Structure 1
Amino acid sequence: MSEFMRPIPFKDLIEWSLKEYNNEGSIFGIKKEKFYINKKGTKLKTVFGDEISSAVGPAAGPQSQLAQNILVSYLTGARFIELKTVQKLDGEDIQKAVAKPCINSEDECYNCEWSTELTVKEAFNEYIKAYFAIIAIAKELDISDKKDFAYNMSVGYDLEGIKSEKVDTYIESLKNAENTDIFKECKSYLLDNISKFEKFNEKDLESIDPIVCDSITLSTLHGCPAEEIEKIASYLIEEKHMSTFIKCNPTMLGYDYARKTLDDMGFDYISFTDYHFKNDLQYEDAVVMIERLLKLAKEKDLAFGVKLTNTFPVDTKRGELPSEEMYMSGRSLLPLTLSMAAMLSEKFDGKLPMSYSGGADARNIKDIFEALGQPITVATTILKPGGYLRFNQLAEETEDLLQDELRDVDVEKIVKLRDDTIASWENNKLYREKVHSRKTDSVLPLTDCYKAPCKDGGCPIEQQIPEYLKLVAEGNFDKAIEVIANDNTAPTILGKLCAHYCQEHCTRVDYEKSLQIRNMKLIAAENAQEAYLEKIEKSEIKSDKKVLVIGAGPGGIAVASYLRRNGIKVDVREKLSKAYGIVSHIIPEFRISDKDIDKDYQIAVKQGVNFIFDSEVTESYEELKKDYDYIIAATGAWEKGRSPVKEGSENILDALDFLWDVRMKGSANVGKKVAVVGAGDVAMDCTRTAARLDGVEEVALVYRRTEAYMPATQEEVNDVKEEGHKIYELVAPYAYDGKVLKCDKMQLGEFDDSGRRSIHTTGEKLELEFDTVIGATGARVDTTAFKENKINLDDWGNVKTTDTYETNIDNVYVIGDCRAGASTIVKAMGEAKAVCLDILDKENLPNDFVRYEEKEDKENIFSKRGKLTPALDDKSEGLRCLKCDQICEICTEVCPNRANVAINVEGFDNLNQIIHLDGMCNECGNCAFYCPHSGRPYKDKLTVFWTREDFEDSTNTGFLKLGENDYLVRLENGKVIESKDLEKDLSKKVLKLVRTIEKDYNYYIKPTEAINA
């Protein structure tokens, strides 16, 4: 595909909008139910003198680039439109200078460049087209009968460029567009086609004000001297007679403040030096400059203020984007921008007008607006799932606060908001549970690509998560536990202890907080599992084959349960005296009780699994195969971990020994002061367990990296912190003599390929006094039995298996922790499920893993899109589910240019199919980060091309319509053909897509002549 955007002619923009609205009830994919109307009639008077009907809009960035972007922003609730920055460098020159992809908004956002990639003239044309389109469509659709929005232009980056003919013409033309070609074209088209409208009329057309925008925001490059900034601002005020704001860079806060703030909030991995802090505008210089500019603007009867803030320059260290330096925005910019606002508000006693942009979203926008009282613009939040639809909530949140009289900044409120924001756990990086990408390994298909990543790639046992969330929310616990137990042999155990990979992949992570899926499973189990147990009957034997499972841990019981309920006789031999291994013998009872464990054990018992306890397997697999057709080893990882120190062994306990003693014997002698070395879930268990022992006065966790890199789930870390236990970060023990733990102080180094930072000693030493040290650095696997039975191991000492976990010995399988080291309960169960399916397949037996089907109303699903909703503590949490298993379409939401679209096509699993419009895409790459598959929608979906040049510059499967029955096509295999008979040349699925586009969405097929006009 081509990264060059092809602006849509005004005629097509209007006709596309009207036709789509009449056919689909939407405009550029935004459904009419999501069109924003301020029904309360409140207005905001901006410092520039505009009256607007909402306080929000797109920041000068990707959402204010093309006419359709601006139109969609308006329809969803934006009323203050910051036009994308123009500069002397434009068009192909800037396109060549910007590396692609140029946006990564996976969490906080990074970009390479947010200036317009069009020529200055093209940008101007886009803004005028959008201006006319908004006014006409707003009147036609009863959104507003008069102009209720405002533009704010943005220019950069130096005085010479701003004075250049093309930028000067741009400024003057926006100040009065009446004599420009595009203004005349738009007006003429509407006049000639007024009959296409029912409510927008000729009088409305004539009343359109040619003064499109008379306010301006100055964006300067980092390092621009104070004198240059003041010179430009003075020029804009005195010579251009425009109300002027200047963007202030967060570097004004000083390096130490910015570094400490981000470090304290978990963003310590964001890399930057003090370079820009030293070379950018300094606070002291800014203050005197602002004072002079305020005075100058007042003399000219104009407004002056600051735009907070510009984006923040940081170094590319983890391969975020293909550039050495990039610009940060979003939630990590929030504390810095609020700090700027508080600092300047205090200095100017609330008299300095401020337009805000920096990490605003639905959770904080009301507080920000209450404090500042001027428009708030956003970019990052609307680059995330929900996209432009998020403007609805942003506008609604601030509706009641709109005032038609100017007011000062509330200094007390903005200072408090800064302090509360920095202190709030919800704003900490780690609040999102160390989540990174929601992508999974599946290939992005050309059609039917919708998927729920929580279950399809996120959950090792592929639980039907959206289905049971809905059932729990409805209070239908009996059906919910039935759906859960279909895939999950331990509902209560996993309801309390699951590593919940599903939550890491939940789309809600990109809204506010992932669904608390594990909690909903537990609610179902607590309300319905006992009744479910009563209904279980011993399964009928359907095969003469016999299976031996060695080990009655979670994996062993799972495979036994799966097989037995599907008709195969299973014996489970366990050397311990009771079931569930690590869960029942190691994990502390305050986390899960024997009673809870027994609930799950009884499922397998009632299904007919035969358990033989106190029965260690000493026979060879060859001997065992005389009585059993299949052998499955699931013996866990019980070997002691490596010593946490290189020197000394006195009073060092292994984590498993310690936890065993407490759970099985009721106590352990550890003295008064205990250190736990490690940072996994087992280390957290050791810390909390030791603290509960009689006589223990202090427990500390010792870890060589920082909290952000702890392998434990964040909630386990939070439990340790909430209980008040000391955590020593960046401390690496090397010796212990029974009393003193000697440690090296460490520092974080560069990022490695895994995304973790390396560590290096600082050369400093630390000595800590402890009575006992518990080593929780990872249990190991006893591979003796595997070696004796000639099971192949890899170079790491792990068992080599097939994808279905079969070893080099036919019908001998290895699953769980004993296969590749200590892992999680649910992963062991996932391997158990795979083994069960493999054995059933070998025996030609059907499996009973059924899909529970209950479709939710599409309109109800769409009503949740774009709305941030706090996590709930009760069963109704499931109502937050976005039902990605029915409708995904995330790539359509996160595309700022609307280049990914969903169309209804009969004959597919899902009516909504995704296609890509090449002419509207600039390869920003944002959709690739959010697609739950491994692919990239802008590269992998069927593409509609508008020009031969773009087609030839692409590798995408897609087509260019050359004439009535003449097409240039790139097939799925990459072959390019010119076709006059699509029925013969295309696959059935591609043919359906193309014919549907031609029949129902022909406005997507742009004639070359129109593009070049």
Structure 2
Amino acid sequence: MGYLTGFMEYNRKDQDVKDPVERIKNWEEYVIRFDDQEIKEQSSRCMDCGTPFCHTGAEWEGAYVGCPVNNFIPEWNELVSEENWEEALRNLEETNNFPEFTGRVCPAPCEGSCTLAINDDPVTIKSIENEIIERGFDNNWVEAKVPERRTDKRVAVVGSGPAGLAAADQLNEMGHHVTVFERDDRPGGLLMYGIPNMKLDKDTVDRRIKVMKASGIEFVCNTEVGVDITREEMKRDFDSVIMCTGAQDPRDTPIENRDSKGIHFAMDYLTAATKALETDPKNTPITAEGKNVIVIGGGDTGADCVATALRQKAKRVVQFGKHPASPDERTDDNPWPEFPMTFKLDYGYKEGLETQGEDPRKYEVLTQRFEKNESGQVTALHTMNVEKVYENGEVITNEVPGTEQKWNADLVLIAIGFLGPEQDVLEHFGLETDERGRIWTVDGTKDYRTSEEGVYAAGDARRGQSLVVWAIREGREVAEQVHAYLMDKETKQIV
């Protein structure tokens, strides 16, 4: 502990953010970094508990507990409080390949499991983590990991999202030759085009890719496996293949008039908006400017749609969710150290509140049908309120009679999650899938081998839609198994 009584003397302070009304005028990151005194005080709040649940990284009865990559949180909190930044960075890099990503977009399950959170506000772990890596880049402490010796083994990683990048980073450091295939025009996967700039600036992604390239990792973009390169070619040219294709098959809502113009999947909308920033923000095929926008579904993707629509100068933005609002405090069935399922005002909702005068979210609302005009353009949604009740130990969602309502809509964004990975590439490789369409592996929690010899899977393609930090963990773990597989093969020549 850098300061024995810090947790008693200092209150939690979150990072300052730019004014919501002002920040929607641009696409810049909205969070402001701590100054030296703030970061020293916040890191000194860490108690260095006997059992630091913050870094346990476990799933307990379906709930997350602590950091999935097992960051040494108390250790680097102490180092930060002592202003030993370079050592704090080295400590952080032992467990997390990309702290600049998790420090921006992770929901911080570590903080929900902080011992202080039992009866106080947790340590600002996520913000401290991000400050460590940013100071690392500021001072040129983040270096390319060029291995002293290389094996003669070649590994192909399909997909350049967080799981694929983590696997590539680890295997390269072990000395193998790694090539990452990405079907889009820039590496990063979800990090590049699925997360808006105001949460994760693309220069931050490019900065990390540059380091990885300098480490010896090859990136091949605009290449779709199964179309531009075949399974046979990959098995001929590589000793192992890792499938990290993500879970990007969107869940749809097949209701009346779903074929109307102006109804889009959320990820298509977010991707188009982000790509347009490279040239002209207004030159996007899907825009919310001047429109009544309705987002169906919640979660981070829904919040990102709200924030993006506000920056595109939407007339009004509303978001529907079929679940009730989360409680202000933990419920009895959501105890510490589980991730707290409590009410939060995410950045996009705060912006909606400040600019529209109300939280954009409408709870316990079910969309029943769309309405369109003669040209096929969506003009409205018809909804009904729902309520959840318990019957025979099960949760049942019932419609509430008399709550029918019509909402004007010019643009509808569907953000109700993902079914799993896209199936074309899996079928091309002949990979078995489970009952949910995910890539089948020998053990759903520990063994990343697929049904095909030498082919492994990690990240959302294997576990389903999840967090960036879980993808990094899986990328690291699959790398260990692929390394063992490669070194078990006959040829172990060092070149």
Q: What TM-score bracket applies, with the shorter chain setting the length?
A: 0.7 to 0.9
Q: Hey, what's the Cα distance between the residues in 1 that align with 2:199 and 2:108?
A: 16
Residue in structure 2 matched with residue 825 of structure 1 by the alignment: 468
How far 1:820 moved relative to its partner? 3.6
Q: Hey, what's the Cα distance between the residues in 1 that align with 2:435 and 2:393?
A: 21
> Pick from 712, 721, 735: which aligns with 2:349?
721
How far 1:812 moved relative to its partner? 0.8
Matched, 1:588 2:196: yes
Residue in structure 2 matched with residue 794 of structure 1 by the alignment: 434
How far 1:750 moved relative to its partner? 1.9
How far 1:621 moved relative to its partner? 3.3
SS at match of 2:236: coil
Structure 1 contact 644–777 (Cα < 8 Å) conserved: no
SS at match of 2:476: helix
Residue in structure 1 matched with residue 322 of structure 2 by the alignment: 704
Q: Hey, what's the Cα distance between the residues in 1 that align with 2:392 and 2:72?
A: 36
Pairs within 5 Å for 1:556-567 = 556-567=164-175
Residue in structure 1 matched with residue 384 of structure 2 by the alignment: 744
Structure 1 contact 588–685 (Cα < 8 Å) conserved: yes
CA distance 1:646–1:749, change in 2 (3 Å): farther
Q: Hey, what's the Cα distance between the residues in 2 that align with 1:525 and 1:692?
A: 28
Matched, 1:548 2:176: no
How far 1:817 moved relative to its partner? 1.8
> Pick from 401, 423, 428: which aligns with 1:763?
401
Structure 2 contact 239–486 (Cα < 8 Å) conserved: no
CA distance 1:466–1:593, change in 2 (3 Å): same
Pairs within 5 Å for 1:173-212 = none
Q: Hey, what's the Cα distance between the residues in 1 that align with 2:90 and 2:341?
A: 28
> Pick from 259, 269, 290: which aligns with 1:649?
259
Residue in structure 2 matched with residue 773 of structure 1 by the alignment: 412
Structure 1 contact 647–734 (Cα < 8 Å) conserved: no
How far 1:598 moved relative to its partner? 2.0
Residue in structure 1 matched with residue 483 of structure 2 by the alignment: 840
Q: Hey, what's the Cα distance between the residues in 1 that align with 2:187 and 2:196?
A: 15
> Pick from 597, 604, 620: which aligns with 2:205?
597
Q: Hey, what's the Cα distance between the residues in 2 that align with 1:700 and 1:736?
A: 15
Q: Hey, what's the Cα distance between the residues in 2 that align with 1:585 and 1:712?
A: 28
Instruction: Give unpaired runs (5+ residues) of structure 2.
Output: 9-48, 59-65, 329-338, 354-358, 372-377, 489-495
How far 1:687 moved relative to its partner? 0.8
Structure 1 contact 481–529 (Cα < 8 Å) conserved: no
CA distance 1:526–1:602, change in 2 (3 Å): same
How far 1:839 moved relative to its partner? 2.4
> Pick from 87, 98, 112: which aligns with 1:504?
112
SS at match of 1:494: helix
TM-score by length of 1: 0.37
Amino acid corresponding to residue 54 of structure 2 in structure 1 = C
Q: Hey, what's the Cα distance between the residues in 1 that align with 2:340 and 2:432?
A: 31
Q: Hey, what's the Cα distance between the residues in 1 that align with 2:110 and 2:201?
A: 24
Residue in structure 2 matched with residue 660 of structure 1 by the alignment: 271
> Pick from 219, 222, 239: which aligns with 1:629?
239
SS at match of 2:94: helix
> Pick from 718, 726, 732: which aligns with 2:366?
732
> Pick from 300, 316, 323: which aligns with 1:681?
300
Superimposed CA distance per residue, residues 164-188 of structure 1 (whole angstroms, 9 cap, x where no aligned partner): xxxxxxxxxxxxxxxxxxxxxxxxx
Q: Hey, what's the Cα distance between the residues in 2 that align with 1:771 and 1:712?
A: 36
Amino acid corresponding to residue 294 of structure 2 in structure 1 = A
Amino acid corresponding to residue 368 of structure 2 in structure 1 = Y
Cα RMSD of the aligned pairs, angstroms, is: 3.0
SS at match of 2:431: coil
Residue in structure 2 matched with residue 273 of structure 1 by the alignment: none
Instruction: Give unpaired runs (5+ residues) of structure 1.
Output: 1-32, 35-385, 391-448, 846-1013
Amino acid corresponding to residue 551 of structure 1 in structure 2 = G
> Pick from 453, 475, 478: which aligns with 1:810?
453
How far 1:523 moved relative to its partner? 1.0
Structure 2 contact 144–212 (Cα < 8 Å) conserved: no
Q: Hey, what's the Cα distance between the residues in 2 that align with 1:615 and 1:599?
A: 22
Superimposed CA distance per residue, residues 860-893 of structure 1 (whole angstroms, 9 cap, x where no aligned partner): xxxxxxxxxxxxxxxxxxxxxxxxxxxxxxxxxx
CA distance 1:481–1:713, change in 2 (3 Å): farther
Q: Hey, what's the Cα distance between the residues in 1 that align with 2:342 and 2:176?
A: 40
Q: Hey, what's the Cα distance between the residues in 1 that align with 2:397 and 2:452?
A: 42
Structure 2 contact 225–231 (Cα < 8 Å) conserved: no
Structure 1 contact 492–599 (Cα < 8 Å) conserved: no
Q: Hey, what's the Cα distance between the residues in 1 that align with 2:188 and 2:343?
A: 23
Residue in structure 1 matched with residue 40 of structure 2 by the alignment: none
Amino acid corresponding to residue 399 of structure 2 in structure 1 = T
Name the count of aligned residue pairs: 400
Matched, 1:785 2:395: no
Amino acid corresponding to residue 482 of structure 2 in structure 1 = I
SS at match of 1:773: strand
How far 1:718 moved relative to its partner? 3.2
> Pick from 669, 676, 697: which aligns with 2:287?
669
CA distance 1:833–1:564, change in 2 (3 Å): same
Q: Hey, what's the Cα distance between the residues in 1 that align with 2:274 and 2:342?
A: 24
Pairs within 5 Å for 1:282-301 = none
How far 1:561 moved relative to its partner? 0.3
How far 1:501 moved relative to its partner? 2.0
Pairs within 5 Å for 1:462-611 = 462-532=70-140, 535-611=143-219
Q: Hey, what's the Cα distance between the residues in 1 that align with 2:143 and 2:429?
A: 41
Q: Hey, what's the Cα distance between the residues in 2 that align with 1:789 and 1:535?
A: 36
Pairs within 5 Å for 1:120-269 = none
Superimposed CA distance per residue, residues 937-967 of structure 1 (whole angstroms, 9 cap, x where no aligned partner): xxxxxxxxxxxxxxxxxxxxxxxxxxxxxxx
Q: Hey, what's the Cα distance between the residues in 2 that align with 1:805 and 1:588?
A: 30
SS at match of 2:387: strand
How far 1:630 moved relative to its partner? 1.0
CA distance 1:533–1:751, change in 2 (3 Å): farther
Identity of aligned residues (%): 24
CA distance 1:600–1:715, change in 2 (3 Å): farther
Superimposed CA distance per residue, residues 728-784 of structure 1 (whole angstroms, 9 cap, x where no aligned partner): 111111111112211111112128979xx5421112312111221111011342112
Residue in structure 2 matched with residue 314 of structure 1 by the alignment: none
Q: Hey, what's the Cα distance between the residues in 2 that align with 1:779 and 1:796?
A: 11
CA distance 1:714–1:570, change in 2 (3 Å): farther
Structure 1 contact 681–713 (Cα < 8 Å) conserved: no
CA distance 1:717–1:800, change in 2 (3 Å): farther
Superimposed CA distance per residue, residues 590-619 of structure 1 (whole angstroms, 9 cap, x where no aligned partner): 111112222322332232211111222224
Structure 1 contact 649–736 (Cα < 8 Å) conserved: no
SS at match of 2:295: strand
Superimposed CA distance per residue, residues 353-402 of structure 1 (whole angstroms, 9 cap, x where no aligned partner): xxxxxxxxxxxxxxxxxxxxxxxxxxxxxxxxx9xxx9xxxxxxxxxxxx
Superimposed CA distance per residue, residues 320-372 of structure 1 (whole angstroms, 9 cap, x where no aligned partner): xxxxxxxxxxxxxxxxxxxxxxxxxxxxxxxxxxxxxxxxxxxxxxxxxxxxx
TM-score by length of 2: 0.74
Q: Hey, what's the Cα distance between the residues in 2 that align with 1:546 and 1:714?
A: 46
CA distance 1:732–1:565, change in 2 (3 Å): same
Superimposed CA distance per residue, residues 885-906 of structure 1 (whole angstroms, 9 cap, x where no aligned partner): xxxxxxxxxxxxxxxxxxxxxx
SS at match of 2:294: strand
How far 1:795 moved relative to its partner? 1.7
